[in-house]
Amino acid sequence: MAVVELSTPATEEQIRALKVGDTVEITGLLYTGRDAVHHRLHNGEKPPVDLNGMIIYHCGPVMVEENGGYVCKAAGPTTSIREEPYQWEVMRDHGIRGVIGKGGMGPKTLAACQEYGCCYFHAIGGAAQVCADRIEKVLGVDWMDLGSPEAIWHLQVVKFPVIVTMDSHGGSLHKEVQESSADVLNSFM
């Protein structure tokens, strides 16, 4: 399996080159952002960081305070579909180049990936140690008033392992599997 190396901030050209099924390792800065962050952005609050070219990670990590800083104890992806009402807007308004999560997203996000040049990267759900192992450093945190799992954590990652499951050309592995599995299971009913 060939691995594509990707750094953040990413360019539209780099993202457009990716296709469903590509294995990618991401190096650079990631910002976590899940339910409460997306809700705030949707309500028009200005993000505390520049999201241009960045990738948002749907993740609520386990963080422990040690020696005046934070150490990440676990950091796998959370289910992305809950951000389906908001994600397209964040892609449109904030110049992000993609999101990392699990379970895939729906037609609004897929259309936005195509229109604005973004990808959906799938991390392995539940694999919180493999993911945390690739986080070199916790560089900071914003919106801590949302509570630790919902805050925006700034994560310095090296070779963070993901698979492209929705690309900027309208391809979605989730749509394919949903349709084929529905055919099979409905035939059993």
Partner 1 sequence: MSTSTAVSLQASLLELIRKTSSDLPKDVVNAVQAAKSTEEDGSNAAYALDVISCNVDMARDASQPICQDTGTIIFNVHTPVGYDQIIFEETAIEAVKEATEKGYLRQNSVDSVTGKNSGNNIGPGSPIFHFHQWRKDYVDVRLMLKGGGCENVGAQFSLPHPKLGGRDMKGVENAILEAVLLAQGKGCGPGILGVCIGGDRASGYSFSKEQLLRTLDDTNKDEELGALEERIMEKANKSGIGPMGFGGNNTLLGCKVGKQNRVPASFYVSISYMCWAFRRQGVTLDAEGAINEWLY
Active-site residue set: 38
Q: How many CB atoms lie within 10 A of CB 44?
A: 7
Segment contacting partner 1 by CB under 8 A, of 7-15, 45-53, 86-94, 98-106: 98-106
Binding mask of the shown chain, residues 164 to 183, with x at each position contacting partner 1 by CB under 8 A: -x-------xx-xxx-xxx-
Binding-site string for partner 1 from residue 108 to residue 137, where x marks contact by CB under 8 A and - marks none: --------------x-xxxxxxx-xx----
Q: What tokens were used for 104? A: 């895939």
Nearest to 100 by CA among 72, 137, 131, 143: 131
- With CB under 8 A as the rule, give the number of residues binding partner 1: 50
Phi, psi angle pair for 161, to nearest 5°: -85, 125
- Spell 84-95 as b/e; 16+ CB within 10 A means b: bebbbebbeebb
For partner 1, the binding residues (CB under 8 A) are 1, 21, 23, 36, 59-62, 64, 73-76, 78-79, 81, 102-104, 122, 124-130, 132-133, 146-150, 161, 163, 165, 173-174, 176-178, 180-182, 184-186, 188-189
